[in-house]
Amino acid sequence: MAHLVTLIPGDGIGPEVADATRRVLEVTGVEFRWDVQEAGAAVMDREGTPLPNRVLESIRHSRTALKGPITTPVGTGFRSVNVALRHELDLFASVRPSRTLPGVPTRHPPLDLVVVRENTEDLYAGIEFERGSEAAGRLRQELRRLGGYEVAEDAGVTVKPISVTGTRRIVTFAFDYALRNSRRRVTVGHKANIMKFSDGVFLRTAGAEATAYPDVEFEAVQVDELAMRLAWEPETLDVLLLPNLYGDILSDLCAGLVGGLGLAAGANLGWEYAVFEPVHGSAPDIAGRGVADPVAMVSSAAMMLRHLSERQAADAVEGAVAEVLIEGEHLTPDLGGAASTDEMSRALARAVRTERRAPGVPA
């Protein structure tokens, strides 16, 4: 039976890597019914919102989406579609693996890290007070009244909520993930010495929940020290469990450790829905030039195949990525090659080896 999947090509290089990914998926022999849904900057101009309801309805119906990156204006303009999707669909867990890939040189011994990031709370909860607004003025007064806090009159304010309930489910998710994937250790990153009432909740809840998993080692590290360890000896780390903001920053760092954003795949998971997307953004600097690396989105699609219980096809796609990287003949410029997105995706499709390969497609 064909899998119904919502496909959001996204902005910038999104449509380029989405087309490339479809080409690779099509030769796996797994059948898809794609519900293609536009979202993002161009849709904002046409429909007055970058995330129309039809997109959410499509995912609520299909339960699974493959998504390209979507541009978020910096400092002003519409709020992040990515953040809104995670909130609306309660996609509370972000999973971003960073594994050394064959043929891709790195500065460290072979790495196999996974960032598990809380996806709905923290400074990304969207509770913001604009500098100079009436609400910001009232908030300043309340803060003075409640705790004697003095906030500068010209300050904008972003609130950082971290709850026991929100933390508990991501901690359980991270430890279950560790057990299912034979991982030995979960390292939680925090700054609970400074932010006692937000990161403090994350750290204490993580410590309490960890006791239910005696077979997985639990380690707590301050996030600044964790950044140093990632640069210095990343091979000592395994699963990183992080609140939203630190997870966002450190997962890009981890991507850099194993070859860059062009290779880093990700999944946003909740109890009901799953949205698979590359870690990278819309890359306006290279959009439209046909040189974007398709591997991050193709590998996100491999994660999706596993989620859809298409294990053989997922192995075949990951095998194709490894083969093309080792062969080194069809690499995009970020990997030191001169191939276009199109050429690399054709090479990836040719390298897919599965018994269920689509009929008429030569191996």
Interacting residue ranges for ligand NAD, rule: CB under 6 A: 13, 17, 69-72, 82, 261-262, 277, 280-286, 292-293, 296, 334
Among 228, 277, 282, 276, residue whose Cα is nearest residue 250: 228
**Active-site residue, from 11, 191, 273, 334:** 191
**Alpha carbons 89 and 91: distance in angstroms, whole number:** 5
The whole-angstrom separation of Cα 99 and Cα 87 is 28
Q: What is the DSSP letter of 308?
A: T
CB-wise, 293 or 318, nearer to ligand NAD? 293
- Per DSSP, the three-state class of 311 is helix
> Is 67 among the residues known to form the active site?
no
Q: How far is the CB of 297 from ligand NAD (least distance, A)?
A: 7
Nearest approach, Cβ of residue 329 and ligand NAD (Å): 18
User: Measured from the CB atom, is 240 or 344 closer to ligand NAD?
Assistant: 344
Residue nearest to ligand NAD (CB): 281
Non-local (6+) Cβ contacts of 174 within 8 A are: 93, 116, 186, 239, 241
Beta-bridged to residue 97, according to DSSP, are 114
- In the residue annotation, 273 being an active-site residue is answered as no
Both tokens of 172, joined, read: 């359980």
State in angstroms the smallest separation of the CB of 245 from ligand NAD.
Answer: 13
CB of 305 to ligand NAD, least distance (A): 20
Minimum Å gap between C-beta 75 and ligand NAD is 11
191 is catalytic: yes
Contact 62, 52 (CB under 8 A): no
Contact assessment for residue 13 and residue 71, using Cβ atoms and an 8 Å cutoff: no
Closest CB to ligand NAD among 118 and 334?
Answer: 334
Q: What gap in Å lies between CA 8 and CA 20, rounded to an integer? A: 13
Closer residue to ligand NAD, CB minimum distance, 136 or 292: 292
Nearest to ligand NAD of 209, 277 (CB atom): 277
Lookup: tokens for 177: 């993930």
Listing DSSP states for 221-243 in one string gives EEHHHHHHHHHH-GGG--EEEE-
Is 342 considered catalytic here?
no
Of 122, 199, 238, 248, catalytic? 248
Catalytic-role residue among 124, 177, 246, 273: 124
What residues are annotated to the active site?
Answer: 124, 191, 224, 248
